[in-house]
Chain A
Amino acid sequence: MFGFLLRRIAVLIPTFIGVSIIAFAFIRLLPGDPVALLSGERVMSPERHAQISAQLGLDRPMVIQYLDYLRGVVTGDFGTSIVSKSPILKQFLALFPATVELSFCAILIAVALGIPAGIIAAIKRGSALDQSMMGVALVGYSMPIFWWGLLLIILFSGILQWTPVSGRISLMYFFKPVTGFMLIDSLLSGQKGAFSSAVSHLILPSVVLATIPLAVIARQTRSAMLEVLSEDYIRTARAKGLSPFRVVSLHALRNAMIPVITTIGLQIGVMLAGAILTETIFSWPGIGKWMVDSVFRRDYPVIQGGLLLIAGIIMVVNLIVDLLYGLVNPRIRH
Chain B
Amino acid sequence: MNFKFGFAAALIAASFLSTTAASAKTFVYCSEGSPEGFDPGLYTAGTTFDASAHPVYNRLLEFKPGTTQPEAALAESWDISKDGTVYTFKLRPNVKFQTTDFFTPTRTLTADDVIFSIGRQIDEKSAWNKYISGGTWEYADGMGFPKLIKSIEKVDDLTVKITLNRPEAPFLANLAMPFASILSKEYADSLEKAGKKEQLNQNPVGTGPFSFVAYQQDAVIRFKKNADYWGTAPKIDDLVFAITTDAAVRYQKLKAGECHLMPYPNAADVKSMKADPNLKVLEQEGLNIAYLAYNTTQAPFDKPEVRIALNKAINKKAIVDSVFQGMAAPATNPIPPTMWSYSKETKDDTYDLDAAKKMLADAGVKDLSMKIWAMPVSRPYMLNARRAAEIMQDDFAKIGVKVEIVSYEWAEYLQRSKDKNRDGAAILGWTGDNGDPDNFLDTLLGCDAVGGNNRAQWCNKEFDELVKKAKVTSDQAERTKLYEQAQLVFKKQAPWATIDHSLAVVPMAKGVTGFTQSPLGDFTFEAVDIAE
- Residues of chain A touching chain B, judged by Cβ–Cβ distance below 8 Å, are 30-34, 36-37, 40-43, 48, 51-52, 55, 80, 82-85, 91, 94-95, 150, 153-154, 156-158, 161-168, 170-172, 174, 176-177, 193, 196-197, 199-201, 203, 280-283, 285, 289-290, 292-293, 297
9 A-B pairs whose Cβ atoms sit less than 8 Å apart in the complex? A34-B411, A40-B414, A158-B255, A163-B6, A164-B256, A165-B249, A171-B26, A280-B245, A283-B245
Classify the interface of chain B: helix, strand, loop or mixed. mixed
Interface residues of B in 82-139 (CB under 8 A from A): 132-136
Known pairs A158-B252, A161-B10; A37 contacts B217 (CB<8 A)? no
Q: Which of B14, B132, B253, B418 gathers most chain A CB within 10 Å?
A: B253
A235 to B21 alpha-carbon distance, docked (Å): 69
Residue in B closest to A206 when the chains form the complex, CB atoms:
B2
Partner-contacting stretch, out of B218-226, B342-350, B507-515:
B218-226
Q: Which of A51, A153, A193 gathers most chain B CB within 10 Å?
A: A153
* Beta-carbon contact of B452 and A43 below 8 Å: yes
We find that the number of chain B residues with CB closer than 8 angstroms to chain A is 64
- Asked if B453 lies at the interface with its beta carbon under 8 angstroms from chain A, I say yes
Q: Which of B34, B379, B449 gathers most chain A CB within 10 Å?
A: B34
Which residues from chain A contact B10 at a C-beta distance below 8 Å?
Answer: 161-164, 200
Which residues from chain B contact A289 at a C-beta distance below 8 Å?
Answer: 218, 245
Known pairs A153-B252, A280-B246; A293 contacts B34 (CB<8 A)? yes
Interface residues of B in 352-382 (CB under 8 A from A): 379
* Beta-carbon contact of A32 and B411 below 8 Å: yes
* Beta-carbon contact of A165 and B258 below 8 Å: yes
* Beta-carbon contact of B28 and A199 below 8 Å: no
Residue in B closest to A204 when the chains form the complex, CB atoms:
B6
A296 to B289 alpha-carbon distance, docked (Å): 22
* Beta-carbon contact of B9 and A196 below 8 Å: yes
* Beta-carbon contact of B242 and A41 below 8 Å: no
A172 to B242 alpha-carbon distance, docked (Å): 12
A11 to B13 alpha-carbon distance, docked (Å): 50
- Asked if B428 lies at the interface with its beta carbon under 8 angstroms from chain A, I say yes
* Beta-carbon contact of A48 and B252 below 8 Å: no
Residue in B closest to A153 when the chains form the complex, CB atoms:
B252
Known pairs A36-B414, A161-B256; A95 contacts B249 (CB<8 A)? no
* Beta-carbon contact of A200 and B133 below 8 Å: no
For the complex with contacts A199-B5, A203-B5, 8 further pairs of A-B residues with Cβ separation under 8 Å are A32-B410, A33-B415, A37-B410, A157-B256, A170-B13, A193-B9, A196-B9, A200-B9
- Asked if B216 lies at the interface with its beta carbon under 8 angstroms from chain A, I say yes
A165 to B222 alpha-carbon distance, docked (Å): 19
A226 to B272 alpha-carbon distance, docked (Å): 51
* Beta-carbon contact of A162 and B142 below 8 Å: no
Give, as a whole number of angstroms, the nearest-CB distance from A298 to chain B. Answer: 10
* Beta-carbon contact of A51 and B12 below 8 Å: no
Give, as a whole number of angstroms, the nearest-CB distance from A294 to chain B. Answer: 10
Which residues from chain B contact A170 at a C-beta distance below 8 Å?
Answer: 9, 12-13, 16
Which residues from chain A contact B246 at a C-beta distance below 8 Å?
Answer: 280-281, 283
A324 to B318 alpha-carbon distance, docked (Å): 62
Residue in A closest to B258 when the chains form the complex, CB atoms:
A165
